[in-house]
Amino acid sequence: MTVKELLLKEIESLPDSLLTEALELMQELKTKKHQTTNNNSTVIASGGSILKHAGKWVGDDFAECLDFVYASRGKAKF
């Protein structure tokens, strides 16, 4: 049996309550594959684009964010 025939056999045996979920899964897989195919070009970043924002914090929650980083980071394991 081909893969397509096996899929059709499985679809025919699914209860109606799962058919919608199976369809959504297939559509999601198709969309994901299409997006992956369209994003084949990889750009290697130099980091320069992020450096233009360095030292330009906007907001009044810097201390709170920094405290959160210190509280939630783990110890490095080498």
Q: What is the mean pLDDT of each run of 10 residues along the chain (78 residues)?
A: 90 90 89 65 68 74 86 80
Output the pLDDT for position 74: 81
Output the pLDDT for position 9: 92
Q: pTM surpassing 0.75?
A: no
Give the three-state DSSP class for 59.
coil
For 1-78, where are the alpha helices, taking DSSP H only? Answer: 3-13, 16-38, 48-51, 62-72
Sequence spans of domains, the chain = 3-37
Give me the long-range contacts of 11-20 (CB less than 8 A, separation at least 24). Answer: none
